[in-house]
Structure 1
Amino acid sequence: MKIAYVTSSLEGSGGPLPIPAVTRVLRNAGAHVEVFALTRRDGRALPPMLADGLQVHVREGGNRDHWAAYRWLDREIATYKPDLIWTSVARASLIGLLLGKKYSVPVVCWQHNATLKWTRLLPFYVLRKRPVMWIGDSDMVTKITAERFGVPPERMASWPLFSVNPDAPQARPWQPGQTLRLGCLGRLHTQKGYELLIEALVQLKQRGFKSSTPFEIQIAGDGREREALTAALQRSGITEVHLIGFVDRPQDFLAGLHLYLQPSRVEGFCIAVHEAMQASLPVIASAVGQIPYSLEHKRSGWLLPPGDVEALANALAEALSHPERLAAMGQAARARVLPLYSADTFKRAGESILERLRARGVLAD
Structure 2
Amino acid sequence: MVGGLLGLSTTGKHRPVENPPLVLVGCSGGPDSLALAAVAAFFATRGEVRVGAVVVDHQMLPGSAGVAARTAEQLRGLGLDPVQVRTVDVEHDGGGPEAAARAARFAALDAAARELGAETVLLGHTMDDQAESVLLGLARGSGTRSLAGMRERRGLYARPFLKLRRAETLAVCQALELQPWHDPANSDEAYLRVRVRHNVLPFLAAELGPGVTESLARTAGILGHDADFLDGLAGQEFARIAQLGPDAGDGPAEVTLPEDELRGLPPALRTRVLARAVVVLGGCQPSQERLGAAETLLERRGSAGPVQLAGKVSAWRTSRSVAVPHEGRGYGKLVFRRTA
Shorter-chain TM-score bucket reads: 0.3 to 0.5
For CA contacts below 8 A with separation 6 or more, give which structure has more relative contact order. Answer: 1
Larger Rg over CA atoms: 2
Q: What TM-score comes out, normalization by structure 1 length?
A: 0.31
After TM superposition, the score normalised by the length of structure 2 is 0.33
